[in-house]
Chains A and B, each alone.
Chain A
Amino acid sequence: MKQLSLLLLSFFITTPLYAASGEENYKAYCWQCHGMQGDGMGINIENMSVQPRDHTDRKSMSARSDAELFKVIKEGGLSIDKSVLMPPWADVMSDAEIKAIVKYLRKLCDCS
């Protein structure tokens, strides 16, 4: 019983109430620019000075490491000398959630 309580307690401590899956967070925060299909064709792109990355582009996505993708999501485009239009999402998602998005990006590009 004590072990079960500790297990439940650790679940609530390590799982923030607001946490969501990589796919869910991608839908909420990334679709607007990167598009519903991840092809960079989101509803916001018409007046953008720099077009969002196509996450289904295997070649360009393969050129980015997981660490770079994690950094750009967490700290924004400027952190890797890219566009200011890509904002930092550190205050919205935990590191674990951002890692889940990186994993989801690898699924979209079918690349590593």
Chain B
Amino acid sequence: MRNYIRLSILIAIGAFSSVTIAANSSALLKDRCASCHKLEGPVAQTAEEAWQQKAPDLFYAGVKYKRKWLSSWLVKPTRIRPAGYLYFNHIKPGKEMDEIDQSTLPKHPALTASEAEMASDALMKLTNAPTDLKKGEFSGKSISISFGEMTFDKFNGCMACHQIEPGYGGLSGPEVYTAANRLQEDYLVSFIRSPQAWNPKSLMPNRHVKEANIQKLVAYLVALSKEEWK
């Protein structure tokens, strides 16, 4: 009987702790992330709203990001988009060409390791995707970097906006050489297939890439992510 009571108390404490941790995680997101990121859907409903956003939507973070990357990046955040979330809010005319106005780029706050773990757990529970996302979209087939680059650059022109290695490529979009470290492959397939299904005013055009080539593009991003970039 005494053991039964002890066990019941332990279970109650465990359940209370889980509820408390979940509540704390949720409070952490609201406290540290909500001033720039949307934690609840829907996506921006007008062009004006979309273009005033300071950072990516997080209400589907759980189907977009890789947890391992989240927990390490949140401790030591680095810039992924050279010209900020919406490039046109962070550029200025230069002597020869337009330049990034570094003074306008906000620095992402860093979390402690324990906060980052809590935040990552909470983020992975946000799965309100604006479109259907099937598991297993990515076939997992590999491609060499040279063939992948042909599909990415020569046939689809993606390098116009994205860097394929540090310092090489366009600046308005996010760097892609780390994309597969950061993002789930199934999400990448779905996003390339229709960026506007995820965000109607996305700056990423829909090139109506054939399914087989979408697989090649994601395989290329996976290959790039395995390189050691400095």
A48 to B160, CA, bound (A): 6
B96: A residues at CB distance < 8 A: 41
Contact across chains for A43 and B205 when beta carbons are under 8 A apart: no
- A110 lies within 8 A of chain B by Cβ: no
- Beta-carbon contacts under 8 Å, B164-178 to A: 168-172
B97 contacts A41, C-beta separation under 8 Å: yes
Q: How many interface residues does chain B have, given as a range? A: 35 or more
Q: Which residues of A contact B169 (CB under 8 A)?
A: 47
Across-interface contacts of A41 in B (CB, < 8 A): 94, 96-98
Asked, given contacts A43-B172, A84-B156, A85-B157, whether A32 binds B205 with beta carbons under 8 Å apart, the answer is: no
Q: Does the CB pair A43–B201 fall under 8 Å?
A: no
Q: How far is the CB of B50 from chain A (nearest CB, A)?
A: 7
Q: Which residue of A lies closest to B206 (CB)?
A: A91
In the bound complex, do residue B202 and residue A92 qualify as a contact, i.e. CB atoms below 8 Å apart? yes
Chain B residues touching A, majority SS? loop
| A92:B160 contact, CB within 8 angstroms | no
CA distance A87 to B45 in the complex (A): 24
Most A-side CB within 10 Å, residue of B97, B100, B155, B160: B160
Are B97 and A43 touching (Cβ within 8 A)?
Answer: yes
27 A–B pairs (Cβ distance < 8 Å), ordered by A: A17-B45, A18-B46, A18-B50, A24-B51, A28-B88, A29-B205, A32-B88, A32-B171, A32-B172, A36-B91, A36-B92, A36-B98, A43-B83, A43-B91, A43-B170, A44-B160, A44-B161, A44-B171, A47-B168, A77-B157, A87-B157, A87-B160, A87-B207, A89-B205, A92-B200, A92-B202, A92-B205
